[in-house]
């Protein structure tokens, strides 16, 4: 988390820094700051809260200077406040940082003994003081190298100097960083998205790289301090995709465009005649795969659980699912005959990346399913399957979830076909059913627009909510609960409906909203029985089904009937009302939809 921007130019830079910080707010939004060089001195301005607060501050008291750095923060060390906001500056240097310095306490003690005073509670301020100290005895290159060598942990850094006032230095270890090439100015940024309005020419730094930017040149050095050349990538022109357009917020846009997301993704993976799936060049022959391990965090992990059901139904391959933050520290027996699949919207999630790194170091086969194809996870894995969802800006993942599930489903069908575990006619039927999905997502979206705001009102006074489902509806219940809690701050639990009697049933009391996901699949009758158990204990049931006939509904508060589709595809349609429900509860509570409290879009710290 945290977003970094740096610009070396011969024009004033503050306004472009602010515009880029607004784009980076998805990475953190609890405080913001900027430092420029004005009349040979470091000029630092920062504030708690959003970038717009900083912008207002600069409006009254402009930051001049043609070279500068900026930052948006997601607090790790120290509360969100002005004093903890970045940049952290001494008289000599000013630093913005994304990541965590693990040995900051020891370094702070050493520096305090030398007489350095600390103003903030951040780990970043040790970098400022360390570099200031090394600059007393060493030249610029040595001072930077010595500083970087002293730091443990992960970081992306942007640094400006009083004495070397025409350069911005960037350094990457573990946290993403890119540079951009502009006309008579150059840029440093946490990702290409922040730089895209200024340039489409980008280079990504690799771990250990350092870059030095002036307004007309960028030099790169590797971890051995050797000057290196790096590839320049030309980004595609999709600037408009990340605009809100007619929507109130990005999340409603992203929910409402999920039929298009699905259509684009399906088009990418089905061949011209739509009779076959275009996935070739597997890193491991599907016939030889002994086990598939699916790994992700949060919503991406929920897509992995859904995929476990599909793979188990469609192939004979044993499937494991794992949460990346657990996987990376367990003593797992990695096996060269297994395929390890990493699912991540951003492609930058620190835990998922570390789990992938562990697999890479053990030379096992890796595949990533990502939205951001230039991301660290995509670049490090043996095989990449993009979800083609376009930029997802709302912090709560919506269309990327649909895209992740789609690619996983398509992958399961393809692997099954290559291994000849699915009949040709079934394979063709699955492809045909897939083609119907975008229109049915649209139909579900239209159907739920008017009724979910009404249902949402019931959640306003509730102490919490439960989401229950069986089979493929279980991960969707987890996802529904996650969406509700992160957006509306209401406690919510997702459970396999059959587990209720083993404890959670004790939570059911008069008026508790319980969302029951009961499509007409092989679990239908059992889920309906579980629903009756909830009703009998006073739960206020919201039933989501594609078969409302024959259900005694007098005690059901609301029933939503979504379109019928192949059972395997029901999770896609079930997801839509749950997203809209969470969205509407959060709207009624006046929560910040695109930027829920305490969260950030790209989780680049552990
Ligand atoms: C929830 C949400 C998070 C992310 C998780 C992983 O709405 O967005 O749970 O799914 O932080 O992020 P990625 O997919 O970028 O690895």
- The DSSP call for residue 274 is S
Nearest partner of 562 among 540, 545, 585, judged by Cα: 545
Catalytic residue of the set 2, 47, 265, 297? 2
> How many residues comprise the chain?
606
Which atom of ligand 1 lies closest to the CA of 297? 6
For position 240, what pLDDT does the model report? 47
What Cα–Cα distance (Å) separates residue 200 from each residue in 191, 217, 229?
12, 16, 19
pTM: 0.80
Q: Is 311 left (phi over 0), alpha (psi -120 to 50) or beta?
A: alpha
Among 345, 355, 373, which is best to mutate for testing ligand 1, by the most ligand atoms less than 8 A from CB? 345
Cis ω before 87 (30° cut-off from 0)? yes
Residues pairing with 71 in the sheet = 4, 33
**Residue 346 alpha carbon to ligand 1 centre in Å:** 8
Q: Does the CA dihedral 596-600-603-606 come out positive or negative?
A: negative
User: What pLDDT sits at residue 151?
Assistant: 96
* Structure tokens given for 21: 């910080």
What residues contact residue 131 under an 8 Å CB cut-off, 6+ apart? 92, 93, 95, 143, 144, 147, 159
Q: Assess whether pLDDT exceeds 80 at residue 605.
A: no
* Whether the CB of 579 sits within 6 Å of ligand 1: no
196 has a pLDDT exceeding 90: no
Alpha helices in 186-284 (DSSP H): 192-195, 250-256, 258-269
Which residue has the least CA distance to atom 5 on ligand 1? 298
Question: Cα of 177 to ligand 1 centre, how many Å?
Answer: 20
Structure tokens at 578: 């749950």
Task: Give 118-122 contacts, CB < 8 A, sequence gap 24+.
Answer: 119/83, 119/88, 120/78, 120/83, 120/84, 120/88, 121/77, 121/78, 121/79, 121/84, 122/77, 122/78, 122/84, 122/86, 122/88
Question: Using a 6 Å cutoff on CB, does residue 350 contact ligand 1?
Answer: no
Asked if pLDDT for residue 287 goes beyond 80, the answer is yes
| 367 touches ligand 1 (CB under 6 Å) | no
Ligand 1, atom nearest to 395 Cα:
8
321 with 304: CB under 8 angstroms? yes
Q: 300 CB under 6 A from ligand 1?
A: yes
- What are the distances in angstroms from CA 252 to CA 24, 459, 503, 593? 19, 19, 36, 9
Mind listing the pLDDT tens digit for each residue in 118-162? 999 999 999 999 999 999 999 999 999 999 999 998 899 999 999
User: Is the Cα dihedral 129, 134, 139, 140 positive or negative?
Assistant: negative
Q: Which of 46, 108, 483, 601 is catalytic?
A: 601
Asked whether the beta carbons of 481 and 494 are under 8 A apart, the reply is yes
Which one of 303, 349, 604 would you pick to mutate in the ligand 1 pocket, going by the greatest count of ligand atoms within 8 A of its CB?
349
Residue 2 annotated as catalytic:
yes
Residue 447 pLDDT level (bands cut at 50, 70, 90): very high
Helix (H) or strand (E) holding 536: helix 524-536
pLDDT attached to residue 283: 87
Task: In whole angstroms, give the CA distance from residue 147 to residue 128.
Answer: 9
At 295-343, the pLDDT tens digits run 999 999 999 999 999 999 999 999 999 999 999 999 999 999 999 999 9
The beta strand positions in 300-448, using DSSP E, are: 319-323, 338-344, 365-370, 383-386
Mean model confidence pLDDT for the chain: 93
Q: Determine whether 47 is an active site residue.
A: no
* Exposure string for 530-544, b = 16+ CB within 10 A, e = fewer: bbeebbebebbbbbb
Q: Write the residue with the smallest CA distance to atom 10 of ligand 1.
A: 299
| φ, ψ (nearest 5 deg) of residue 161 | -130, 145
Determine whether the shortest distance from the Cβ of 352 to ligand 1 is under 6 A: yes
Q: Which domains does the chain have, with CATH numbers?
A: 3-234 (3.60.20.10), 243-422 (3.40.50.10490), 449-593 (3.40.50.10490)
> Would the CB of 575 count as within 6 Å of ligand 1?
no
Give the per-residue pLDDT at 374.
Answer: 75
Distance 395 CA to ligand 1 centre (A): 8
Write out the E strands in 305-401: 319-323, 338-344, 365-370, 383-386
For the chain, how big is the Rg over CA atoms in Å? 25
Asked whether 569 and 555 are in contact (CB, 8 A), the reply is no
Segment 514-556, tens digit of pLDDT: 999 999 999 999 999 999 999 999 999 999 999 877 776 778 9
């Amino acid at each position: 988390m945290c977003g970094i921007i740096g610009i070396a130019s011969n024009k004033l830079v503050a306004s472009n820094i602010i515009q880029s910080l607004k784009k980076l707010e998805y990475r953190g939004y609890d405080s913001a700051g900027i430092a420029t060089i004005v009349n040979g001195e470091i000029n630092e301005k920062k504030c708690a809260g959003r970038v717009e607060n900083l912008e207002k501050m600069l409006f009254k008291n402009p930051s001049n200077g043609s070279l500068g750095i900026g930052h948006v923060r997601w607090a790790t060390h120290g509360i969100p406040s002005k004093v903890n906001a970045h940049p952290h500056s001494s008289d000599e240097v000013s630093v913005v940082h994304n990541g965590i310095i693990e040995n900051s306490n020891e370094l702070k003690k050493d520096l305090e003994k030398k007489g350095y005073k600390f103003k903030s509670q951040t780990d970043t301020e040790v970098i400022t003081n360390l570099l200031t100290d090394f600059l007393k005895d060493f030249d610029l290159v040595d001072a930077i190298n010595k500083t970087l060598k002293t730091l443990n942990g992960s970081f992306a850094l942007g640094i400006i100097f009083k004495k070397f006032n025409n350069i911005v230095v960037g350094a990457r270890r573990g946290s993403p960083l890119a540079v951009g090439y502009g006309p008579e100015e150059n840029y440093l940024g946490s990702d290409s998205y922040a730089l895209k309005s200024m340039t489409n020419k980008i280079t990504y730094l690799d771990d250990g790289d350092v870059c030095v930017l002036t307004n007309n040149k960028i030099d790169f050095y590797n971890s051995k301090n050797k000057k290196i050349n790096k590839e320049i990538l030309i980004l595609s022109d999709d600037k408009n995709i990340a605009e809100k357009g007619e929507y109130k917020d990005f999340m409603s846009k992203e929910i409402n465009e999920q039929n298009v997301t699905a259509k684009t993704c399906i088009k990418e993976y089905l061949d011209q005649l739509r009779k076959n799936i275009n996935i070739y060049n597997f890193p491991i022959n599907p016939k030889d795969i002994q086990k598939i391990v699916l790994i992700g965090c949060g919503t991406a992990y929920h897509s992995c659980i859904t995929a476990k059901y599909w793979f188990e139904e469609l192939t004979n391959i044993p499937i494991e699912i794992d949460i990346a933050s657990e996987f990376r520290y367990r003593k797992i027996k990695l096996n060269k005959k297994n395929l390890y699949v990493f699912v991540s919207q951003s492609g930058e999630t620190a835990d998922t990346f570390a789990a992938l790194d562990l697999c890479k170091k053990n030379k096992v086969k890796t595949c990533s399913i990502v939205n951001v194809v230039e991301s660290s996870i995509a670049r490090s894995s043996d095989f990449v399957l993009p979800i083609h969802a376009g930029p997802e800006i709302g912090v709560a993942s919506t269309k990327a979830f649909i895209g992740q599930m789609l690619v996983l489903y398509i992958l399961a069908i393809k692997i099954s076909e290559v291994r000849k575990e699915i009949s040709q006619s079934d394979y063709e039927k699955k492809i045909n059913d897939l083609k119907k999905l975008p229109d049915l997502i649209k139909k579900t979206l239209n159907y739920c627009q008017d009724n979910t705001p009404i249902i949402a009102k019931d959640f306003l006074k509730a102490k919490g909510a439960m989401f229950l489902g069986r089979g493929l509806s279980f991960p969707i219940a987890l996802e529904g609960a996650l969406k509700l809690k992160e957006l509306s701050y209401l406690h919510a639990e997702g459970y396999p409906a059959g587990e209720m009697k083993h404890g959670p049933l004790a939570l059911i009391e008069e008026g508790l909203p319980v969302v029951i996901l009961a499509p007409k699949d092989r679990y239908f009758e059992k889920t309906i029985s579980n629903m009756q158990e909830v009703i009998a204990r006073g739960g206020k049931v919201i039933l989501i089904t594609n078969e409302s006939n024959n259900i005694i509904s007098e005690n059901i508060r609301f029933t939503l009937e979504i379109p019928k589709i192949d059972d395997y595809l029901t999770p896609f349609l079930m997801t839509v009302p749950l997203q809209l429900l969470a969205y509407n509860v959060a709207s009624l509570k006046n929560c910040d939809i695109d930027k829920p409290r305490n969260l950030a879009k790209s989780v680049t710290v552990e």
